């Protein structure tokens, strides 16, 4: 009996939405989904493989698997004809209406020769683009950091009766680091005033000064 692995088709669709969207579209990624699915199903039952259309192992189906050992179609295994079943796994493949399915398409009245192809891994996805890191000048340079961090920290410490010391570097470092980190995540220089206010509120509390 051929296992019904519809749940694996649906899981593969959820986990690989880009490959699913490209399936059977004729694009460079047209067979990524079926390669991923065939590998997945083969790991569960070694009788599943890719389907070579019309017996041609070099021309695999973008939307179907081949089950070797049962069915009314057949595959040639070292000169021996072995029963096989072609299973369509994508309804309306290549269209926005595509759906996961598990449908044996073999016709008992018209058996065909197909090919069972050992699953192979899909090409790995391209690496993500490197993040754009703003320069020091993009973040305001010396002048912005002096006016928006240094002047404020010095004034608050003086108000609390303290002088700048080695611990003061923590507040410069935390503020500048978060300005840079948030700008990298956003892909542009973010509004830094809320970040300065966040850390100024913290250092004022440590200095015993009222909140802003």
Residues in the chain where the model's pLDDT stays below 50? none
The answer to whether position 124 is within a domain reads no
- How many domains does the chain contain in total? 2
Of 117, 152, 183, the residue that ends a domain is 117
**Tens digit of each residue's pLDDT (9 = 90 or more) over 94-108:** 999 999 999 999 888
What mean pLDDT is reported for the chain? 93
Residues 34 and 105 occupy one common structural domain: yes
* 209, burial (CB in 10 Å: exposed 0-12, middle 13-18, buried 19+): middle
The rounded Cα 194 to chain-centroid distance in angstroms is: 32
**How much is the pLDDT for 128?**
82
Please name the residues in contact with 6: beta carbons below 8 A apart, sequence gap of 6 or more.
100, 101, 102
**Residues of the domain holding 154:** 141-207
Same domain as 106, residue 27:
yes
Q: What is the pTM of this model?
A: 0.59
């Amino acid at each position: 009996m051929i296992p019904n692995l519809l749940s694996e088709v649906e899981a593969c669709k959820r986990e690989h939405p880009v490959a699913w969207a490209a399936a059977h579209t004729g694009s460079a990624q047209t067979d990524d989904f079926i390669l991923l699915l065939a590998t997945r199903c083969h790991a569960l039952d070694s009788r599943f493989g890719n389907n070579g259309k019309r017996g041609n192992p070099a021309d695999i189906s973008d939307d179907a698997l081949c089950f070797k050992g049962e069915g009314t179609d057949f595959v040639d295994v070292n000169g021996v004809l072995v029963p096989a079943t072609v299973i369509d796994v994508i309804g309306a493949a290549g269209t926005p209406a595509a759906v996961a399915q598990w449908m044996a398409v073999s016709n008992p009245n018209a058996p065909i020769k197909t090919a069972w192809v050992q699953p192979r891994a899909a090409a790995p996805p391209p690496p993500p683009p490197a993040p754009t890191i703003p320069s020091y000048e993009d973040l305001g340079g010396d002048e912005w950091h002096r006016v928006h961090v240094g002047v404020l920290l010095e004034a608050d410490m003086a108000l609390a009766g303290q002088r700048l010391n080695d611990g003061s570097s923590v507040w410069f470092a935390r503020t500048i680091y978060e300005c840079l980190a948030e700008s990298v995540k956003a892909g542009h220089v973010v509004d830094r005033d809320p970040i300065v206010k966040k850390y100024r509120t913290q250092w004022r509390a440590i200095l015993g000064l009222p909140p802003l």
